[in-house]
Structure 1
Amino acid sequence: MSKVEIRTTKLSDTVYMMVGSGGNLALSTGPDQTFLVDDQFAPLRAKITAAIAAVTPKPVGFLLNTHWHFDHTGGNENFGKAGSIIVAHDNVRRRMDSEQLIEFFGMKTKPSPRAALPVITFSADTTFHLNGEEIHAYHAPRAHTDGDSVVLFRGSNVVHMGDIYFNGMYPFIDTSSGGTVDGVIAAADRVLAITDDRTKIIPGHGPLSNKAELKAYRDMLESVSGRIRQMIKDGRKLEEIVEAKPTADFDEKWGKGFIPPAKFTEMLVRNLLRGGK
């Protein structure tokens, strides 16, 4: 983490995108509280704090987690101890407060320290009235996980989608945390319905995006999952489906991320076999 740099891009008068290692951040500044979306890994706290201080002298008043994964919540304990009010969906606190197994990677996580846990949770949605605009967060059911939130900065026409959206790469869908491919598609459809061609979309991973790119991502997921669903219906086994390369025509654009095409295919097969819809 010593070589990681936090890069800040201004998206509106009050909203910034911050990129380092881990999930992308959003920052809202202005006359009221400083509002942060996600916080990457704990070792980056000092760098993230310095990047925020370069934009505003105000400490983070509110911190919203888009989901529970440690590359988006790793800084929670430090921010919580510093006085930030941590907010998330109900299931984020529930998963952070207990041992979790991310089956696809064979990775166990321990319960988070008390200071890292969200202190305000919601089941459907919540709205913050800060810095001259409404910041609306709503739950996207069974998408990347079972606790995903989409965050709308309404006045700025900016959306943070968390890991529902991996821009330019195949996504990780955490089946063991309640995620489903159909939930990701449904979440993308909802964002597409409430945005326009000027909307700036912050993905969980990858560069700043827009409505057209999100539509291409959504269509890719529908296409590939539809092919795999038909192969499952035809009685083909996991190994046969992987060998058939149902992602082949998308690999040049989407297959160069941290999940290669074969692993993405395997993930979708297992997701759909477990009723991932």
Structure 2
Amino acid sequence: MKTIISLLGLALCMNLTVQAQGFDNITIEATKLTDKIYVLTGAGGNIGVSVGDDGVFIIDDQFAPLTAKIEAKLKTLSDKPIKYVVNTHFHGDHTGGNANMHNLGATIIAHDNVRERLANEPQRNGTLAPKEALPVITYNDRMSIHMNGEKVAIVHVDNAHTDGDSMLYFLDSNVLHTGDTYFRGWYPYIDLKSGGSVDGYIAAVKQGLMLIDDNTKIIPGHGGTESNKVEYLAYLEMLEGLKKIISGEIEKGRTEDEVANDTSLTKTYDDQGYSWQFITSEKIRRTFYKSLKQ
């Protein structure tokens, strides 16, 4: 199990630094959660999929070089067209396929801030995202999609992983897609430079818990294809525990470097395996310090 987690962590490190090499070797896998809902994995954030008579609706679309493989896998699940793509936030491992999905006929939907960042912040190649990659339907708080026989609630959570995060809840299927407001089994990546914050991240998890029950199937942004309320509660406990510890160190007047270098502060959670290649224990201490100090 630890080997699998390590490999997943390594894959995510590559995704978050958007290293394009190796996509030819990526296989898109599908995991069935309910009669209507699937999860696709490959390289990037978990893709949620709804299939039914109305068509195919997906949550996030990973990287552009993977679109053909994603489309091929979707065709094994449904012969219907891809009608909608909802981006949970703006990072490239969740939005990289937007332009391709647009060209396949899909309508791109996201929070207002996702469109703003995609339209105005240069990508890693130094250019802005093409017009085709931009969401054409945006919202500032929440919206609903009625498709494939059920209502899907899209809920914006403020300043969590970024400033444009959304989670999606399938009411009849009882499935929650959290985007990157939940890294199952790992310390979270809180993108402070893009509006993320510790307090907002904790609030997002609490909001997600308000939507679900003991039987809900949870699709995390990363860290496996499926989670549950018990694991989600443990994740919240870790976040709140870290906040209490780091806040206490700030009150003592300790500096960022002192906190970042004190391995004892996160030992309880390090021992549980939360530290990984991209977000190490040192990095999570530094992130919490910077966010809470503000």
Coarse TM-score class (shorter-chain normalised): over 0.9
Q: 1:20 aligned to 2:42?
A: yes
Secondary structure of the 1:71 match is: helix
Q: 1:119 aligned to 2:136?
A: yes
Q: 1:225 aligned to 2:233?
A: no
Q: Is the 8 A contact 2:53 2:80 kept in 1?
A: no
Q: Is the 8 A contact 2:216 2:228 kept in 1?
A: yes
Q: Is the 8 A contact 2:89 2:110 kept in 1?
A: yes
Equivalent residue number for residue 34 of structure 1: 56
Q: Is the 8 A contact 1:168 1:257 kept in 2?
A: no
Q: Is the 8 A contact 1:99 1:108 kept in 2?
A: no
Matches within 5 A, 1:49-88: 49-88=71-110
Secondary structure of the 1:249 match is: helix
5+ residue gaps in structure 1? 102-106
Q: CA deviation at 1:256?
A: 2.9
Give, in whole Å, the separation in 1 of the partners of 2:248 and 2:266: 14
Equivalent residue number for residue 289 of structure 2: 269
Which one of the candidate residues 146, 155, 164 is aligned to 1:147? 164
Q: CA deviation at 1:194?
A: 2.0
Secondary structure of the 2:144 match is: strand
Secondary structure of the 1:54 match is: helix
Q: Which one is further off, 64-73 or 185-194?
A: 185-194
Q: Is the 8 A contact 1:170 1:257 kept in 2?
A: no
Q: Which one is further off, 13-22 or 255-264?
A: 255-264
Equivalent residue number for residue 118 of structure 2: 96
Give, in whole Å, the separation in 2 of the partners of 1:184 and 1:33: 33
TM-score between both structures, scaled by the size of structure 1: 0.94
Q: Is the 8 A contact 2:174 2:215 kept in 1?
A: yes
Q: CA deviation at 1:72?
A: 0.1
Q: CA deviation at 1:109?
A: 6.0
- Give aligned pairs, total: 269
Q: 1:157 aligned to 2:174?
A: yes
Q: Which one is further off, 108-117 or 200-209?
A: 108-117
Q: Is the 8 A contact 2:122 2:129 kept in 1?
A: no
Which one of the candidate residues 197, 200, 203 is aligned to 2:217? 200
Superposed CA deviations along residues 71-125 of structure 1, whole A, max 9, x for unmatched, are: 0000001011221100000000001001269xxxxx7864211000000000111
* One-letter amino acid matched to 2:208: V
Secondary structure of the 1:185 match is: helix
Superposed CA deviations along residues 135-169 of structure 1, whole A, max 9, x for unmatched, are: 11010011101100010011100000000000011
Secondary structure of the 1:57 match is: coil
Equivalent residue number for residue 169 of structure 1: 186
Give, in whole Å, the separation in 2 of the partners of 1:110 and 1:95: 12
Secondary structure of the 1:239 match is: helix
Give, in whole Å, the separation in 1 of the partners of 2:91 and 2:139: 18
* One-letter amino acid matched to 1:151: L
Secondary structure of the 1:254 match is: coil
Q: Is the 8 A contact 1:91 1:147 kept in 2?
A: yes
Superposed CA deviations along residues 184-215 of structure 1, whole A, max 9, x for unmatched, are: 11111111122111100001001111111011
Equivalent residue number for residue 269 of structure 2: 250
Which one of the candidate residues 233, 237, 252 is aligned to 1:215? 233
**Between the two proteins, what is the percent identity of the paired residues?**
45
Closer, same or farther: CA 108–266 of 1 in aligned 2, 3 Å: farther
Equivalent residue number for residue 239 of structure 1: 257
Q: CA RMSD in A?
A: 1.4
